[in-house]
Amino acid sequence: MAANTPNITVTNKLDLINGLNVHIGGEIGRYHTIPINFFSQLAQSLQQLLTTLAKFEIITQGGIDLNNFNIELCGFQKGGAIPQFCFTKRIQTVTGGDVLEQRQFVNDRFNFLMEIASRGAYHELKEEYKGPYKRNTIVNDLYKFVNAVGTTPMSFVEVVEEQSPTTIYKVARFKAEVKNALVQKIVHATSETYREHYAYAKVKITNRGDKVRKRIQEVYEMDETVLSYAPEIITHQNTQYLLTSPLRCLFEKEKGFFIIKSELLGIIGTGETEEAAENNFAQEFDFIFNRYHQLPFSKLSAQLKKVKIMLDFLVKEKVTV
């Protein structure tokens, strides 16, 4: 996997693969229990942060399934209010991608963020994430996680049987004013801010019968581009999927890789060229369509059941060419 490498090397002390212990102190954890509303906020904000890291940080020429970064409660440790979270054991196979390597990379990046959180050095995120869209998303999700239990002390601990928990990282407060200083407002052009300028673009024109589809491939003006991608036909090898409506996806370029993301289906296609990314996306689409139809509906998770229903609605016809 060709993935982003952290600018700062951090020794991994937290392990989401085997179990991450979160110690909740203060009044909330006083009785070695956690009120369900605080637990829900903690779990959901941790899940959102990990999903965001997977979406924004992993760059690979293989496939990515965001369901592989779902977390589950895998224990509740003695010695305090210490829920243990880990990546789901329900691994979804992807084409051309190493799920374990992808998970380890997300775990690395989570360690990186928690090391910053332990020092309260949140200002370093501005240097680490220079692009405003990525930084805004990661900062907001990190802020929600750090403040999921309010001002109650939260730390990550190691639990050894018959011993008191040992603190690995104690999470420092993430103040709203610090968060606001990191988040960059993205201003859309108005009559006051509008300016006219020119850029060169590469446009791909596809003719299929009487249908003509035009899509800007790349704008040669900025280091990164964010475009739309909405195929009506998805072709993988000798199979075509005719869709009832365009499948709207995010199409972007980052650090030399082209990325196509479908939030609806939870699949990502990547490649060093636009065509490679499209082919990888089509391969992922073909894989999940056939895989989900091979498995009994009762064997699918709640999320995958929704995806299968969407696929059945989306695909009007599957033909061999």
What is the torsional sign of CA 42, 153, 180, 183?
negative
What pLDDT does residue 8 have? Answer: 42
Domain spans, the chain? 20-182, 200-320
Percent of the chain with pLDDT over 90: 43
Question: 192 burial class (0-12, 13-18, 19+ CB within 10 angstroms)?
Answer: exposed
What pLDDT does residue 120 have? Answer: 95
Is the pLDDT confidence value at 9 over 50? no
Identify the residue with better confidence: 150 or 223.
150
What pLDDT does residue 198 have? Answer: 47
Is the pLDDT confidence value at 95 over 50? yes
Is the pLDDT confidence value at 7 over 60? no
Closest CA to 233 of 294, 285, 185, 272: 285
Task: Tell me the per-residue pLDDT of 252-298, one tens digit each, with 9 for 90 and over.
Answer: 877 778 889 888 888 898 888 888 889 999 999 999 998 888 888 88
What pLDDT does residue 3 have? Answer: 43
Tell me the pTM.
Answer: 0.62
- What does DSSP say about strands 64-65 and 267-271: parallel, antiparallel, or unpaired? antiparallel
| Structure token digits, residue 137 | 């998303």
What pLDDT does residue 70 have? Answer: 95
- Taking each helix axis from N to C end, the angle separating 99-119 and 36-57, rounded to the nearest 10 degrees, works out to 120
Residue 45 has a CB neighbour count (10 Å cut-off) of: 19
Is the pLDDT confidence value at 321 over 80? no
- Write out the DSSP string of 68-99: GG-EEEEEEETTTBEEEEEE-S-PPP-TT--H
- Only one residue has tokens 């996306």, namely 281
Task: Tell me the per-residue pLDDT of 170-224, one tens digit each, with 9 for 90 and over.
Answer: 999 999 999 999 998 766 545 454 555 545 455 667 766 666 666 665 554 544 4
What is the torsional sign of CA 126, 103, 69, 117?
negative
